[in-house]
Amino acid sequence: MARRGFTLADAFREFRRHPSPWLIAGTLVTAAAARAVLGDWQLTDALVPVVMLALFPFLEWVVHVGILHWRPRRLGSLIVDWRLARKHREHHQDPRDVPLIFIPWQSLIWVLILAVAVALLVFPRPALGVTFLTCLTVLGLGYEWCHYLIHSDYKPKSRWYRAIWRNHRQHHYKNERYWFTVTSAQTADRVLGTCPDPATAPTSPTARTLHA
């Protein structure tokens, strides 16, 4: 049952009880401190957050479709089925189960290690790589907060929040083949053809039981 009078303060108290926000926030604080120490500010450092903000809805879409909605595959006697995909199927079965809303910490540790490796090895300047890591963790923390808030009992108040709230809930309760973005509405989904008119989109019998 939905709790009446559930406020943002109530939501934050629950949010901070889970490990993934702390892991991301810890990486963010470390990256931001390292960026301040490194200096070497250039124009490209200002471009990184702009580019990442523009691309983040498409990253959400690709991860949601390609990893979270991964169908288990058999390779000989081995079944390939990622933890993230298994936990996401459980999340679809019970969207109100709070621990399942968050990125599993066991998977998140590897994601953060990969992000640090990319920051240190891919970029031409260490400082630029740490700028990337700082921006990525800001976006990741925002993703976890938005995703949790949408599944909580907090009721939409702003026009922006109502839009993303409706968009993601349609994915869970209307049709799991559409509306893959979480922190935005009608962005990557519209470009990539997964944002139909909800009035004409069919209601899927497998929205709660993926791949059934």
pLDDT in tens, 127-164: 999 999 999 999 999 999 999 999 999 988 899 999 99
Concatenating the DSSP letter of every residue in 79-139 gives EE--HHHHHHHHHHH-TT-HHHHSPPHHHHHHHHHHHHHHHHHTSSSHHHHHHHHHHHHHH
**pLDDT for residue 76:** 83
Question: Averaged in consecutive runs of 10 residues, what is the pLDDT profile of the chain (212 residues)?
Answer: 77 96 98 96 96 97 96 88 95 96 97 97 96 98 97 91 95 97 94 95 94 77
Q: Among candidates 52, 18, 16, which has minimal Cα distance to 133?
A: 52
**Structure-token match 């809303």, residue found:** 101
Residues composing the chain: 212
**pLDDT for residue 171:** 97
**pLDDT for residue 157:** 87
**pLDDT for residue 5:** 79
Q: How far apart are CA 207 and CA 176, in angstroms?
A: 5
For residues 154 and 145, is the Cβ–Cβ distance under 8 A?
no
Backbone angles phi, psi at 170, to 5 degrees: -65, -35
